[in-house]
Amino acid sequence: MQLTAFQTVIMILAVAFGTMLTRFPPFLLFPEDKEPPVIVKYLGRVLPPAMMGLLVVYCFKSVSFITFPFGASELIGVAVIIMLHSWKRNVLLSIAGGTVVYMILVQMIFK
């Protein structure tokens, strides 16, 4: 531990406060007893799929596609998920299948 106990508590609160300033404002700006503007309602409807797109890319941010193995494990993992999901459309099966294949690839093949 480099910081004192008191300093650590302050750091934890600082991180928590920053985080909560990203989670609470929309709910404070548009309280539930008032109808939000049409544009906000529209965003509330289209943002979820767009943010899922963001999260998928977010997971790939540290993958290098220009050095060996060119993100092969990740790409194959995702391909397996897409195939399983269009075949059975079972959320847990697709997730488990993709993860197992990915683990085999990173542990045994592209070490």
DSSP-derived 3-state class of residue 3: coil
Residue 73 near residue 110, CB atoms below 8 Å: yes
Q: Residue 51 interacts with other proteins (CB under 8 A)?
A: yes
CB of residue 25 to other proteins, shortest distance in Å: 7
Nearest to 59, CA basis, from 45, 73, 48, 69: 73
CB of residue 60 to other proteins, shortest distance in Å: 8
Q: CB within 8 A of 94, min separation 6: which ones?
A: 81, 84, 85, 88
Exactly one of 57, 66, 67, 68 binds other proteins (CB under 8 A); which one? 57
Which residues of the chain form contacts with other proteins (CB under 8 A)?
A: 1-3, 7-27, 30, 32, 36, 39-62, 73-74, 77-78, 81-82, 85-86, 91-92, 94-95, 98-99, 102-103, 105-107
